[in-house]
Structure 1
C-alpha cells in the first residue's frame, strides 16, 4: 500500500497559511515556557525533597496548580493552529495512537488534582504521602510529554502509518531512533527553565539558596541539553541533517540563531542573573520552536507542501479572532493581576 493514499486532502483555509504558521510558532513558544517551568521546577523540588531539603518543593508546589492551568490553556492554541495547517497529518497520527492518546486527558487531570491536593492538604499530610503524591503527579506529566513526542513524530512519517494494519489497532513510535533524543531534549530543557523559575522565585522570596540552586540547575541542564541536541541532530535522516548543515538557509539560520541565543543565556546563567537569563531563554525557545517548525516542514516535504493549501480569502473570521484574542489577553492579564494582588498570590 502506498502511504500517500492514507493522507487526507488538505482543507481550504480562510486566510493565507503563513498567518497560521506564525501564530503556531508564537503560541507554542508561550506554551513551552510554561510547560518547562512547570515540569522542571517540580522535578527540582522533588529531587531536593528526597535529599531532605523541603523548602523548594513547598515553594514550587504552591505555584504548580495555576502554572499547570496556564500550561494547558496555552497549549490549546498551538494545537488548534497545528490542526488548521497540518491537521490531515495530526488527526491521522492521533487516531493511530488510539487509547494511548486519549489517556493524555486522564493523565493531565490526575496530575492537576494531585498538585491541587498537595497545595491545599499540605499541612494535613505526612511527608511520605506528600512526596509520593508529588512524584506521581510528575509521572503523569512525563506520560503526557512522551505521548506528544510520539504523536508529533508519527504525524511526520506517513510510511510508519502502515504499521496500524499489522497491530491491534494502536501503536507507539518505539522504533524511531529520533524520538528518544527528541523527548530528552524537551525534558532536559524543562529542567533548565525549571531551574530559572526556581531562581526567579528565590529573587521574589529573597532566598539566596533558591537562587543558587535554580541557576545551578539552569546552567548544568543547558550544557547537558547541548549534548542531547547534538544527539538529536545526528539521529535525523541524512537529507534533513544536511538541510540544517547549510542546504536549507532558513532552517540553518534558525538553528544558528538558537545556539547564539543559548550562549548568551548561559553567560547570564553563570553570572547568576535570573532576569537577564529569562530574556535570553525566551529568545532561545522562540528560535528553537522556529527550528522545530523547519524540521516538520522538511519531514513532510515528500508528502505535502503547505504552499499547495487552498485559500478562500475570507478574512472576516480572522478579524473576529483578533478581536477575541485582544479581549482574552486583557482578561487574562487582569485575572493574573488580581491573583498576585490577593493574599494567596502574595504568599
Structure 2
C-alpha cells in the first residue's frame, strides 16, 4: 500500500516558506521556555515541599504565586506555533490529530482543570496538605498532556503509522514502533526540570539584587537542580541520538548538515550554562541556557524535515502571495510581546508593594 497516497495535498501559503518556518521556530522557542518553566518549577516545588515541609515555605509561596501566570503564558505562547505548524505541515498535523482525536480533545479538558487547580494551589500558598494535593494533580495532568503532545508529534512524523487506523478507528491511536518516542519524551521532561531549576535561581537572584537577604539557599537549590538534570539530560540526549534511524540523517544534505552542526554546538553551550550557574553567575547562565534551547529548537525543526523527506519538502508548497496578513501578524506579535513584558513588570511591582 502506497503510504504517500494517504498524505493530503498541501494548501497554498501566503508568503515564502522561509518566513513562516522562521516564525514557527521563534514562537516554538518562546512556548518551550514558558512550558519548561511551568512544568519544571512545579515538579521541583512539589519534591522540595514533600521533603522539607514548612521549611520550604519561601520557595513554595514563590512558585505557587507564579504557576498560574506561567500557565497562562504557556497557553498563549502556544497558539502561534500551533497555527504555523498547521500552515506549513497541516496535511500531516491535521491527519495525526484526527487519528488520535479523542486523546487530542482530552488535552483541552486537562488544561482547564490543571489551570483551575494551580489557582487553588495559589490560594493555599503551596503549604497546606490540600494545596499540595492540588499541585500534585495539576503536575500529573501536565505530564499526561506532555505524553499526548509527544504522541501527536510522533504520528505526524511517521505517516506509516497512519495505516494502523484501519485496526483502531475509535480515535485513541497511540504511536507504535517509534524508537525515539520515549527518549524524546524523557529528554523534554529533563529539560523542563532543568529550566525550572534555573527559573527558580533567576527569580531569587532577582530578589537578592533587590535587597532580599533570604535568597542564597534557593539560588543554590535552583542551580543544583539545573546542573544535575542537565547532566542527566546529556545521557538522555545521547540515548535519543542513538535511537534515531541511521538512514534518517543525510549528512550530504544541507538540512542534515545543519542538524549535526546544531547538535555539536549546543553541547558546549549547555556545558557553559551549567558552569556559569554553579559559579553563581545566574543571569549569564540563563543566557547560555536559552541559547541552547534555541539551538535545540532549530535542530528539532531540521529533524522533522528529515522525517518527512520521503513525503514532503517545504520547496513544493504552492505560494499565493498575500503579504498583508503577514504584516498584521508581525505588528500584533510585537505588540503582544511588549504587553507581556509590561504585565510581568507590573506584576513584580505589585508584589513588591504588597511585601
Answer yes or no: same fold by TM over 0.5: yes
Q: Does 1:110 align with 2:113?
A: yes
Q: Does 1:234 align with 2:242?
A: yes
Bigger CA drift: 293-302 or 192-201?
A: 192-201
Instruction: Decide which of 119, 123, 128 is 2:122's aligned counterpart.
Output: 119
**What is the CA–CA distance in structure 2 between the aligned matches of 1:45 and 1:185, rounded to whole Å?**
20
Structure 2: runs of 5 or more not aligned? 209-214
Shift of 1:307: 0.3
In structure 2, the partner of 1:338 is: 346
Deviations 1:235-264 (A, max 9, x none): 111112564999932111111121121121
| CA shift in 2, pair 1:276/1:346, >3 Å | farther
In structure 1, the partner of 2:293 is: 285
CA contact (8 A) 2:60 2:125 kept: no
In structure 1, the partner of 2:80 is: 77
In structure 2, the partner of 1:65 is: 68
**What is the CA–CA distance in structure 1 between the aligned matches of 2:3 and 2:253, rounded to whole Å?**
29
**What is the CA–CA distance in structure 1 between the aligned matches of 2:200 and 2:74, rounded to whole Å?**
17
Shift of 1:153: 0.9
**What is the CA–CA distance in structure 2 between the aligned matches of 1:299 and 1:157, rounded to whole Å?**
7
**What is the CA–CA distance in structure 2 between the aligned matches of 1:235 and 1:346, rounded to whole Å?**
51
Deviations 1:62-108 (A, max 9, x none): 11001110011111111111111001100000001121111001111
TM-score by length of 1: 0.94
| CA shift in 2, pair 1:69/1:346, >3 Å | farther
Deviations 1:198-226 (A, max 9, x none): 11122234311101110000000001000
Q: How does 1:174-213 map to 2 (within 5 A)?
A: 174-206=176-208, 207-213=215-221
Deviations 1:133-159 (A, max 9, x none): 111000011011111100011100110
Q: Does 1:147 align with 2:148?
A: yes
**What is the CA–CA distance in structure 1 between the aligned matches of 2:353 and 2:142, rounded to whole Å?**
24
| CA shift in 2, pair 1:332/1:159, >3 Å | same
Q: Does 1:318 align with 2:326?
A: yes
CA contact (8 A) 2:256 2:306 kept: no
In structure 1, the partner of 2:137 is: 136
In structure 1, the partner of 2:9 is: 9
CA contact (8 A) 1:246 1:252 kept: no
Deviations 1:290-344 (A, max 9, x none): 1101100000000111100011122122112222223322332332232222247
| CA shift in 2, pair 1:15/1:346, >3 Å | farther
| CA shift in 2, pair 1:321/1:242, >3 Å | closer
**What is the CA–CA distance in structure 2 between the aligned matches of 1:5 and 1:122, rounded to whole Å?**
55
TM-score by length of 2: 0.92
**What is the CA–CA distance in structure 1 between the aligned matches of 2:60 and 2:314, rounded to whole Å?**
45
In structure 2, the partner of 1:88 is: 91
CA contact (8 A) 1:339 1:345 kept: no
3-state DSSP class of the match of 2:311? coil
RMSD: 2.0
CA contact (8 A) 2:34 2:73 kept: yes
Q: Does 1:270 align with 2:290?
A: no
3-state DSSP class of the match of 2:337? helix
Bigger CA drift: 197-206 or 94-103?
A: 197-206
| CA shift in 2, pair 1:40/1:343, >3 Å | closer
| CA shift in 2, pair 1:122/1:264, >3 Å | closer
Shift of 1:346: 6.3
**What is the CA–CA distance in structure 2 between the aligned matches of 1:203 and 1:4, rounded to whole Å?**
53
3-state DSSP class of the match of 2:157? coil
CA contact (8 A) 2:249 2:306 kept: no
